[in-house]
Each structure stands twice: as structure tokens, then as C-alpha cells.
Structure 1
Amino acid sequence: MNGEQLAAWLEELGLADHLEGAGLPSFERDLGGVARWRDPGTGAPLTDDQLADLDRVLHQDGDDPAHAVPLGLVQLRRRAAVRTALLASPTHSYASLARLRGVSENAARFAVHKAAERHALLLVAYDGGVLVPAFQLTDDGELRPELAAILEPLLSSGMEPWQVWAWLTQPAGLLGGQIPHEAARDEGEAGIVRHAAVRLAERARD
């Protein structure tokens, strides 16, 4: 593919916006609609040889290179979509959690980090700050008791917090499509959710 064909192909797949995040050359369309490819390191226009190399990289997955999909970019797109959905769900800052608990912001910050050190609370770093996903909390801002034994193996395994957040709040294959944190509210299901969490944590450690 030439540069224009490569750009159109990526746009059709919905992957053009994820090139830069993958550390790959990216492009912008000029006023005439022509794709202008740039080297991520220098910002210089890509040469024909560099475009050919990029083409090979993007088509290296799959048995048929002519129709292969760049799996790395697909995964980046999926992760971005998941993060967008997670960020749209209720979360707390130190300040809002302090108001919910009826304590000072400093006290809330201290308690949150002590709980996180014990793997007893999920914290997610975002935009230079910390988010406390609200699904894990009771109405008074404390950790839901039934989630303690589920969070501990996940957080102690070294799993990325975003991954833990996503697994707990989306349908899980290990649970037949149930949403883990919701299933855990049922005493009869909580043990099954914990078992699934332990299995997931074991995979993360491998």
C-alpha cells in the first residue's frame, strides 16, 4: 500500500487515532485531504522506505498478510473504549470521598492509601490524580464487605488497576457473563466470584 491507501485502510478500521499511542508513525490530512505521514521521533515526513516498513509492521499479524488486521492497534482501541466507559461511571476524589465519610480531606487521603497498601481498596491513577471507583463503596463511603476477599487477590497480583476495574464492572467469561461486583452481592455467588478472581490473579502472576 502507498501512504494514501494505508491511511484510508486505517481510517476504515477505526484505528488511525491510535497510531501515536502505539509509538508508530501517524498522519494528518492537509486541506486537500491528502494524508501526510510523519516520523514520531523527528516529525519529518516519512520516506517511501519507511512507509513500506510501516506497511509490513501493520500487516504482520495473521496468515494472510494482505488482509491481516494490526492486532496491537485493535487492542489499543479496545482499551481506550473501555477506559472511556469506566471514566463515565461514578468515581470519587479525595474531596468527594471526605464529604461522603464526613471527615477531612487529609484524613480521607490517608485512609484511602492505607487501605490500598493492604490491597483493600482499588485506586486508579488518572490525569495526575487518583480516582476511587464508586462501585466498590457502601453508601457511607467504606469498602463493601463482600468485595474485600475479591479485591485482595487481584490487587496483590500486580494487575494493572484499570484491568481490575474493568474486570469487576463488566460481564466476565469466568462467571458466565455476570458482572463480578454485582454477582458478589449475592451470598451464594460471592464465593464463585472470589474463586474467579483468584484464577485471574494467578494468570496475572504467570
Structure 2
Amino acid sequence: MGPTLATRLADWIDELGLTDHLAAAGLPSFTRDASGAPSWIEADGEPLSDERLAELDASLRDHGDDPAHGVPVALVLLARKARLRAELLATPAWTYDHLAEVRGASLNATRFWVHKQAEEHHLLTVAQGEHLLVPAFQLTPSGDVRPELLPVLEPLLAAGTDPWDAWIWLTQPAGLLGGDVPERLAADPEEAALVAHAATRLAQRVTASPKPRPRPAPSPVPPASGGCGCGGHH
């Protein structure tokens, strides 16, 4: 007898290097016993039924002409984003304390400035654990927002773009700009308008995209007959 569907699916996800991203995507995940046999569970910890496992396998392989070699695109994108987030966290980003030093201002004054700028969609901030980080690429050496980035930041932040997505787009080669890095290209006066236009187009996509809905809670199990039914960074 060949490997079971549970094993084939787990082996495939392992080979793609996507196992650690299943739970983050809100998908069922698996653990392996001492012999390596996988046990699949739902996000709420319930074991997967055979029918649910077959449904999961089909949904993950629904891209490509050959289902046997389909690619779980959503998981691949999630893994890429996780990799880029780790890379970004290795680049300069200031906490309130560090930014206060850069600006030569008090901690309270720096907090006020950050919140004011973020409120006006002039400053990108991201949450990381207990800290709020201000990516340094958008700031001048004295700690002010780079003027050439304001027309780029404003549409992205006003549209409600995910802060990590905005950080990634601004600092990675962008298809809308022929592979150039937006925050670098914006420093060129002859290209600044093009970068601002690309940011506006991206913001329009974000605004038009349907917002993800929260996953519904599992349906309650019907009560048995006779039951009452109660239920630091840089």
C-alpha cells in the first residue's frame, strides 16, 4: 500500500518549505509522531476528517494545469512575505527611544511627532511585538520624513495598506516601476512623479480589494438526545 493522502500532502508541503506557514494562513496544520506519520488538525485543534483532508488537498493544488503539481499560491506568497519581513527587521528601524536620540528631542515630543505624522499619512510605522517601529529608510539623517516620499506615502497609508506590505513595496524592486526600488527612485526628481503615480495605482488596488472576513466559528455540536444543549530593535 502506498502512502496515505495525509502523508502525501504533508510530504509535499514539507518539500515546498511551507509547513510553518499553514497556521498563519488559517489553514489546517500537522504534526508528526516518532515514526514520521503526520496527524492533521483544524485551526481549533479538531482532527481533520478524510473528506476535509481531501478538500484541503484539492484547494492547495488548484493552481496549474496538472493538479498533481499544482502550487499553493497563497502559501507561497505568505512564505515570501515572512521572508521579506525578516529581512526588513534586519534593516534600520527606530523605536521611540532611538528616534528621540536621532531627532535630539524628548521622548514625549517624539511620540507626539510620530503619532501626528502617522495620523496625517506622512509616516509609515509597523508593530513588532511590544514595539512600534519607524523604518529608517523614509527619514532624513535628522529624523524628519524625506520630502520626496510624502507623495508616495500619503496614498498608500490613506488607503489602509497593510504597513508590512507598504514597507515591502517601498523597499523592494517593483513591477510597476520596471524593477526599480520605489524609495530610491523617488529621490530622482525626474522619476519622483512616476513613483507617486505607481503608489496611487497600488493604493487604488488596495481600496478596491475586498477585505478579508474573519473565519466563522465552528458550528456547535448538536446536543445528545435528552441533553439541555447548554453549551528592540535597532
- TM-score (norm: length of structure 2): 0.82
2:143 corresponds in structure 1 to: 141
Between the aligned partners of 2:187 and 2:181, the Cα distance in structure 1 is 11
Q: Equivalent of 1:80, from 73, 79, 82?
A: 82
Residue 183 of structure 2: aligned partner: 181
The structure with more helix, counted as a fraction of residues: 1
Q: Which residue number in structure 2 is paired with residue 109 of structure 1?
A: 111
Does 2:179 correspond to 1:167?
no
- Match for 1:205 among 182, 204, 207? 207
Count of residues in correspondence between the two structures:
205
Q: Compute the displacement of 1:71 (Å).
A: 1.6
Alignment partners' CA distance in 1, 2:66 and 2:200: 38
Measured after TM superposition, the shift of residue 196 of structure 1 is: 1.6
Cα shift at 1:116: 0.7
What per-residue deviation string (whole Å, max 9, x for no partner) do you get for residues 60-100 of structure 1?
33333222112221121111112111111110001100111
Matches of 1:37 and 1:204, distance apart in 2: 34
Unaligned runs of 5+ in 1: none
100-109 or 131-140: bigger deviation: 100-109
Deviations 1:5-47 (A, max 9, x none): 1111111111111111122221122222222222321x24433
User: Who is 2:22 aligned against?
Assistant: 19
When the two chains are superposed, the root-mean-square deviation of aligned CA atoms in Å is: 1.6
Give 1:48 deviation, angstroms.
2.8
Unaligned ranges ≥5, structure 2: 209-234
Q: TM-score scaled by structure 1?
A: 0.92
What's the offset of the Cα at 1:4?
1.1
SS in 1 for 2:134: strand
TM-superposed CA distance for 1:186, in Å, is 1.7
